[in-house]
Amino acid sequence: MTRPLRLGVRTRLLLAAVGAVALALVIGVTAFNLFLGQRLTASAVSLAQAQAAAEISSLEVVNGNLVSPKGLGEGASVGSPVWVFAGTTIIEKPRVPPSLTVAASSLAGGPERTVRVNESLRLYALPVTHGGKRIGTVVAGVPLAPYDETATIAFVGSIALAVALLAAVALLSHWILGKALLPVSRMTDDAAAWSDHDLERRFDQGEPYDELTRLAATLDALLERLSASLRHEQRFTAELSHELRTPLAKIAAESELALRRDRTPADYRRSLEAVHRNAEQMGRTVEALVSAARQEAGLNRTTSDAREGVRASVEAVREEAAAAGIEIRLSLPPSAVRVAIESDLLERIVQPLLDNAIRYGRSLVSVELGVSGTTAVVAVIDDGAGLAEDELEVVFEPGVRGSAAVGAPRGAGLGLALARRLVRTAGGEVVARANNAGGRFSIRLPLA
């Protein structure tokens, strides 16, 4: 099976331009030659008419009869032959082939008219009148060879000129299209190179005002989507590794402790329970991140009781808080607080704030769930060093840690950034409050 011929944009545009010009030239050449032919015919007719009128002015009328000054007979052979008829009788004729005389005789006695004879001569018949009575006819002939030659020269010349113009237009169009489409080729090559190596590069042609700037804006939008997709993938990987680091470390520690020496069945059971608990936390973490992705894509419309997510997040860190000497106080309302988010996802939002509070608190962390208007508010408060005014936003940047982190256990600086991103996928927000007496973070979620 043969593949169809596929032409490039430049070739198609060139063929379209050349085709349009060729059609215009064909129409122009045809119209020019038709007009020229009509003008040459009119010129030959006018000349024959003038010759016939001049001949009539030289004729004499004797006793009501038409008489040629030269007398009856053949006239001299001239370039423009003239026949004089008295009635239908020839009284003057040129020395020409008999066929032309026969053609002239056919016009005698008829109306004023013109005919072309043998493609070489045009005849014009003009009646002769005297006293309101027709007494004869003058037929003048004009050779058409000069007119035909002029028409032929004009036809050949117009064809040659049209071909030259078409060739010039083709060359000029090829050059112009090459120059016009060169930026498109460069933009395509640049976009392909940037998509492989540097997704942050942009064309930045400003507000689109023509085809090229609209193409640049479209490619910028495409590169932005690719860059956002890559950033999302990198962020997801970083968040996943951050969230799984702690339960993996606990599983490794429990298994190492269990394998280090023989233990009682009760000790093994406690170790297995710890491993199972951390494995379940890892599963919930993965499910929460997947749920966040679905929420961000607009595919998740689940609601839940915020108390369940808050309670689960607190229970997940109680053991760690106890090991650090931190008391966690949980305050929940007596009735359900419905929010448009999955319980596991809410747990993943609250837990980084709890981890942060346990890391920087001294002895107490309070978790409070309440309702303010149409918003559910989860407050996580610790009695640590707190945040300065200029740190309220920067601590939510990936990899950034506040001044309180000096001397504290090292973290990756991704927990707060993850919490803010996850809560924003649900249409909420997480904010920090400046307080020298301790840290205070508030999660705000719209009620379902």
> Is the CA virtual torsion 87, 90, 92, 94 positive or negative?
positive
- Judged on CB neighbours under 10 Å (0-12, 13-18, 19+), 122 is buried
313, two tokens:
């997040």
Condensed to tens digits (0 to 9), the pLDDT of residues 187-243 reads 777 766 665 566 667 666 677 776 677 777 777 777 677 676 666 666 666 656 666
Considering the domain boundaries, does residue 332 fall inside one? yes
Q: Which amino acid appears at position 293 of this protein?
A: A
Which strands, in side-by-side order, build the sheet including 440-446? 327-331, 364-372, 375-382, 440-446, 429-433
Identify which of 444, 447, 445, 414 has the alpha carbon closest to the alpha carbon of residue 432. Answer: 444
124 and 33 in a common domain: yes
* Within-domain flag for 248: yes
CATH of the domain at 399: 3.30.565.10
* Spans in the chain with pLDDT lower than 50: 1, 71-73, 75-78, 406-412
Q: What is the pLDDT of residue 76?
A: 43
The residue among 277, 300, 323 that closes a domain is: 300
d(CA 446, CA 424): 11
Q: What is the pLDDT of residues 371-418, one digit of tens each?
A: 999 999 999 999 888 888 888 888 887 656 655 554 444 444 567 887
Name 344's Cβ contacts closer than 8 Å, sequence gap at least 6. Answer: 284, 287, 288, 291, 309, 312
Q: How far apart are CA 321 and CA 366, in angstroms?
A: 12
362: which residues sit within 8 A by CB, 6+ positions away? 326, 382, 383, 384
Kindly state whether residues 33 and 85 are assigned to the same domain: yes
The reply to whether 105 and 237 lie within a common domain is no
pLDDT at 404: 57
Q: For the range 147-151, what are the long-range contacts, defined as Cβ-Cβ under 8 Å and sequence gap of 24 or more? A: 147/40, 147/41, 147/43, 147/44, 148/119, 150/36, 150/40, 151/33, 151/36, 151/37, 151/40
Are the CB atoms for 95 and 88 separated by under 8 Å? no
> Are 323 and 290 within one domain?
no
Domain co-membership, 280 together with 345: no
Domain count, the chain: 3
DSSP state for residue 396 in the 8-state scheme = G
98 CB neighbour count, 10 Å cutoff: 7
Let me know whether 209 and 115 are in one domain: no
Residues 355, 440 share a domain: yes
Domain extent for 356: 302-448
Classify residue 284 as exposed, middle or buried by CB count within 10 Å of its CB (0-12, 13-18, 19+).
buried
Last residue of a domain, one of 300, 325, 355: 300
pTM flag (> 0.85): no
Residues 413 and 296 occupy one common structural domain = no
Helix, strand, coil in percent for the chain, rounding step 5: 55, 20, 25
- From 249, 280, 300, give the residue that closes a domain: 300
Q: For residue 447, what are the contacts with CB-CB under 8 A and spacing of at least 6?
A: 337, 338, 339, 340, 371, 374, 375, 376
For residue 260, the model assigns a pLDDT of: 77
